[in-house]
A = this chain, B = another copy of it.
Amino acid sequence: MAETDQKELSESEPVKRRRKAPEDRVRDIVDAAADHFAEVGFAGGTRDIAKRLGVTQPLLYRYFPDKDGLIEAVYKSVYLESWKPEWDAGLQDRAIPVRRRFEDFYRDYIEENFNPRWLRISYFAGLRDAKVNQWYNHLVEELILKQLVREHRNELGLGDEAYVSPEEMEPTWQMHGGLLHFGWRRHVLDLPTASDTGQVIGDALDMYFAIAPKVYARAAPKDVDNGHE
């Protein structure tokens, strides 16, 4: 519980510095709020956020209608910055074997997102109101996990069916969730984890690819040739 002590003013100079461009101010506030909420949760005080910026608390209410509005802005900021547009194309580049493709992706994805701030805010958000996290999980499912199933099935010569059944999703979540829990242990709980993140990712993918064929076969029995649903 150490004092943050934003500015050590020596009583000689007023140190009155003000006036930032609104866009910059908004960005700074959201950034400080994200840091603060990541540390103490969304019950954290607005005065502490202001203190981080060297600014008074009522100023926040000039840029956000209320605390919930600020929290929502933090949600958007954290989640929108967590996806690199180039990943979309990368995951569908069939010039690269599926296994290599997803290992490269996860190395970058984890490097980019698995830090205390992102992880803590994600879990705080999930506990606060599930909707935001539901939305993000839907994104993960659509952008990563379903792609993994489709691309892998294709590489195995099982056709180009776009539909992925809930039964096929579960093992992909098992892999993804296991990696998330690796981040939880390393960056939230501060527990000693394997030093070689690349190997952790490689093993997680190996585990999935080992049972994936069985899962695909289970989901699409060969005796029936109808579509889905």
Contact = CB atoms under 8 A, between A and B. Distances in A.
A127 B130 contact: no
A44 to B, nearest CB: 9
Interface stretch (A71-79, A82-90, A148-156, A165-173): A165-173
Nearest to A39: B127
Interface of A: 41, 43, 120, 123-124, 126-128, 130, 133-134, 137, 166-167, 169-171, 173-182, 184-185, 188-194, 199-200, 203-204, 206-208, 210-211, 214-215
Contacts of A182: 170, 173-174, 177
A174 B193 CA distance: 11
Contacts of A175: 174, 178, 207
Given A194-B166, A207-B207, A189 B43 contact: no
